[in-house]
Amino acid sequence: MELHDLTALEQGELIRSGEISPVELTEHYLERAARLPQEYVDGAFAFRDPDAARLRAREVAAVGPVGDGASPLAGVPTAIKDLNLTRGVPTSFGSPAFAGYVPEVSDAVTLSIEAAGMVSLGKTSTPEFGSPCYTEPEGRPPAVTPWDVTRMAGGSSGGAASAVAAGLVPVAQGSDGGGSIRIPASCCGLVGLKPTRGRISGFPMYGDPVGLAVSGPIARTVGDAAAMLDVLAGRRAGDPSWAPEPSGTFLSAVGREPGRLRIACFDEPVIADIEVHPDVRRAYQSAITLLTSLGHSVEGVEVPMPREAVPVFETCWAVLTALSTVPLDAQKKGMLRPLTRWLGDRGAAVTAPEFGLALGQLRRYAAEALVALAPYDIVLTPTLATPPLAVGALRNDADPAADFEAQKRFTPWTSAWNVTGMPAISLPLHHTPDGLPIGIMLAARPAEEELLLSLAAQVEAAAPWKDRHPPLW
What pLDDT sits at residue 298? 98
Distance of alpha carbon 152 from alpha carbon 391, whole angstroms? 5
- Asked whether the beta carbons of 86 and 124 are under 8 A apart, the reply is no
- Asked whether the beta carbons of 174 and 191 are under 8 A apart, the reply is no
225 secondary structure, DSSP code: H
Catalytic, out of 131, 162, 180, 215: 180
Whether residue 468 is contained in a domain is answered as no
What CA–CA distances, in Å, run from 55 to 18, 45, 50, 100, 345?
A: 19, 19, 9, 22, 43
Whether residue 376 is contained in a domain is answered as yes
Three-class SS state of 84: coil
In one letter, which amino acid is 135? T
Distance of alpha carbon 46 from alpha carbon 93, whole angstroms? 9
pTM confidence score? 0.98
Give the chain's domain count.
Answer: 1
In one letter, which amino acid is 321? T
Distance of alpha carbon 447 from alpha carbon 429, whole angstroms? 24
Structural domain boundaries enclosing 284? 3-462
Three-class SS state of 430: strand
What pLDDT sits at residue 66? 67
Region of 109 (left: φ > 0; alpha: ψ -120 to 50; beta: rest) is: alpha
Catalytic, out of 92, 95, 156, 415: 156
Enumerate residue ranges in the chain where pLDDT < 50: none
156 is catalytic: yes
Distance of alpha carbon 335 from alpha carbon 342, whole angstroms? 13
User: DSSP of 289-339, one letter per residue?
Assistant: HHHHHTT-EEEE---SS-TTHHHHHHHHHHHHHHHHHTTS-HHHHTTS-HH
Whether residue 470 is contained in a domain is answered as no
**What is the sign of the dihedral through the CA atoms of 270, 275, 278 and 279?**
negative
What pLDDT sits at residue 103? 98
332 is catalytic: no
- Asked whether the beta carbons of 7 and 221 are under 8 A apart, the reply is yes
Three-class SS state of 111: helix
Distance of alpha carbon 290 from alpha carbon 269, whole angstroms? 22
Q: Which of 401, 385, 195 is nearest to 318 (CA)?
A: 401
What pLDDT sits at residue 65? 63
Q: Does the bond joining 246 to the residue before it have cis omega, within 30 degrees of 0?
A: no
What pLDDT sits at residue 77? 98
333 is catalytic: no
**What is the sign of the dihedral through the CA atoms of 460, 295, 197 and 136?**
positive
Which H/E stretch holds residue 60? helix 50-63
Whether residue 473 is contained in a domain is answered as no
Whether residue 425 is contained in a domain is answered as yes
**What is the sign of the dihedral through the CA atoms of 413, 418, 420 and 423?**
positive
Maximal CA-CA distance, the chain: 61
CATH number of the domain to which 250 belongs: 3.90.1300.10
Q: Which of 140, 169, 164, 138 is nearest to 153 (CA)?
A: 164
Whether residue 275 is contained in a domain is answered as yes
User: DSSP of 156-190, one letter per residue?
Assistant: SSHHHHHHHHTTSSSEEEEEESSSTTHHHHHHHT-
Q: Which of 132, 173, 113, 184 is nearest to 388 (CA)?
A: 184
Distance of alpha carbon 415 from alpha carbon 310, whole angstroms? 10
